[in-house]
Structure 1
Amino acid sequence: MSLISISNLSVRLGGHQALSNVDFSIEKGEIVTLVGPNGSGKTTLLRSIIGAIKPSKGTILRDVDTRIGYVPQSLTIDATLPLTVQRFLNLPVRHSRASINEALDQAGADGLQARQMSALSGGQFQRVLLARALLDKPNLLILDEPTTGLDQPGSAALYRQIEEVRQHLGSAVLMVSHELHVVMSASDRVVCLNGHVCCHGAPEIVASAPEYRALFGSGTQGALALYRHDHDHHHHNHADGSHEHGECDHA
């Protein structure tokens, strides 16, 4: 069974139709990236998956073994509040010192235990959020634009850290990102969202789709040629030997 299987999902927020008839799934170990313009429902979909938003229609099925680690897009902490990294990682559930040290090490944030949260750099703060998501050893890591506010070297370093986490834990990764060259180089599957799933599949299929180009232009093709790795072994094989690359809807 898929880690997450979504069928005919619709969500209304404050009288606004945020998502309509979304079908979506994520399999064990794969990297899926959500792309789409602002207001396209990307964060809404993630928050629906983790149970923070209740759908108005449709179903979200989780495998009994699915353990989700969630890294939000941002988190505001009162700068006047004395809160160390160690204390932050013990909220709301207390963890052993060894578990916290291991999570920080996996997130590339080892040695920050005694630092004040308010004194962390942007990159350190994001790594601490990643560590918090890793405390329960998830097999599905969900990240909502994890590099927001970071410069290019900081973004590249965080993406490398996420890939190391995936290799170490064998977890699937579901990520929202606006950095299209990263999406195309690091994803097994791309889902293009604009209130509904307008396109999905292997990166090279999505990058050439009219629906994708209508939203993002065609400049990503150059990045695709430069950055794309060979993920053919991740495509789903059918019984007849063909591959399931994806599809794009004219909707």
Structure 2
Amino acid sequence: MTEALANLEGVTVQFDDRLVVNRVSLTVHRGDIITIIGPNGAGKTTLIKTVLGLQRATSGKVSRAPGLVTGYVPQHLTLEATLPLSVRRFMLLSGKPLADCEAALARTGVSHLLEASVHHLSGGEKQRLLLARALVRKPDLLVLDEPAQGVDINGQAALYELIRELRDELHCGVIMISHDLHLVMAATDKVICLNQHVCCSGYPADISHDPAFIETFGHQVAESLAVYHHHHNHQHNLHGDVVAGTGHQGACNHEHH
């Protein structure tokens, strides 16, 4: 059995009288890619912050592997608009050496932006910068909140493939939130459907048949996912443009039958 990086047992998070997460149990092992899906207000961000230790559980048990190193990619990068900040400076705020920062930027495909202003980056560039900032820590557990936020459909596919590659290279665990259900089904090992509590969980191929999934997302979504196929025949750059031909891993052509 692979190493358990984080484990939640019957975790509840409550803000005053509002129940946000209700008796959730989950385990993230090294090598896992677990994706949390669910409607707005389902408690997804609160749950991953609890995994990270950024949010205290009201009840239940949270345990993490000793010495666990985490990398967190938040949903939004909020910066003071009048504060000048280059990509170089943003990366150095991690406290890591410049060489490590440059290597992380290169791995996520944005090393050419080292001297660019963070304020002027596109959605795809910003997400890859945030991923590089998490990557420079060499995390055991990579946690991503809507990593493809603000990225077009082809750029999303490339970003999810990069996350899979990083999982393999770092031999880390990955837990992420996503609304991109079709891409999630191709990019993840396990899906957890959350609506305060765990409605259902399992392998992507099975989850779309679960009555709780159908109740949450509707028959139309469930039926389209049930017949979804994922093929690799070209590559995208971080802007979503096709840059290579057939036979390359890390790219995709999406077919709905």
TM-score range relative to shorter protein:
0.7 to 0.9
Partner SS for 2:224: helix
Give the structure 2 partner of residue 237 of structure 1: none
| CA RMSD across the alignment | 1.6
Give the Cα separation in 1 of the matches to 2:167 and 2:185.
Answer: 17
Aligned 8 A contact 1:69 1:136 in 2 = yes
Alignment deviations for residues 77-107 of structure 1 (CA, whole Å, 9 cap, x no partner): 122211111111122x422111001111122
**Structure 1 outlier segments of 4+, above 4 Å:** none
Unaligned runs of 5+ in 1: 230-251
CA drift at 1:66 = 2.6
Cα displacement (A) at 1:58: 0.9
Q: Is 2:79 aligned against 1:74? A: no
Q: 1:14–1:116: structure 2 CA closer, same or farther, 3 Å change rule?
A: farther
Identify the match of residue 48 of structure 2 among 36, 40, 46. 46
SS at match of 2:111: coil
Report if the CA contact (8 A) 2:5-2:141 is conserved: yes
| Alignment correspondent of 1:135 | 136
Query: Which amino acid is 2:215 matched to?
Result: A
CA distance in 1 between partners of 2:229 and 2:182 (Å)? 7
**What is aligned with 2:203?**
202
- The aligned residue for residue 167 of structure 1 is 168
The alpha-carbon distance between structure 1 residues 198 and 121, as it changes in their structure 2 partners (threshold 3 A), is same
- Distance, in Å, in 2 between the alignment partners of 1:156 and 1:64 is 33
- In structure 1, what is the equivalent of residue 193 of structure 2? 192
Structure 2: gaps (5+ residues) = 232-257
Could you tell me which residue of structure 1 aligns to residue 155 of structure 2? Answer: 154
Q: Does 1:62 align with 2:69?
A: no
Query: How far apart, in 1, do the equivalents of 2:194 and 2:47 lie?
Result: 10
Question: Which amino acid is 2:180 matched to?
Answer: E
Would the aligned equivalents of 1:184 and 1:227 in 2 still touch at CA under 8 Å?
no
Task: State the distance in 1 between where 2:106 and 2:115 align.
Answer: 14
2:154 and 2:192 mapped to 1: Cα distance?
26
Residue equivalent to 1:238? none
Is the 8 Å Cα contact of residues 71 and 142 (structure 1) preserved in structure 2?
yes
Distance in 2 between residues matched to 1:34 and 1:221, nearest whole Å: 19
Equivalent position of 1:2 in the other structure: 4
Q: What is the one-letter code of the residue matched to 1:137?
A: K
Q: Which of residues 30, 38, 57 in structure 2 aligns to 1:36? A: 38
Structure 1: distance between partners of 2:33 and 2:69: 16
User: Which residues in structure 2 correspond to 1:210-249 (within 5 Å)?
Assistant: 210-218=211-219, 219-227=221-229
User: Partner amino acid for 2:84?
Assistant: P
Aligned positions, number: 228
**Distance (Å, rounded) in 1 between the aligned partners of 2:170 and 2:113:** 22
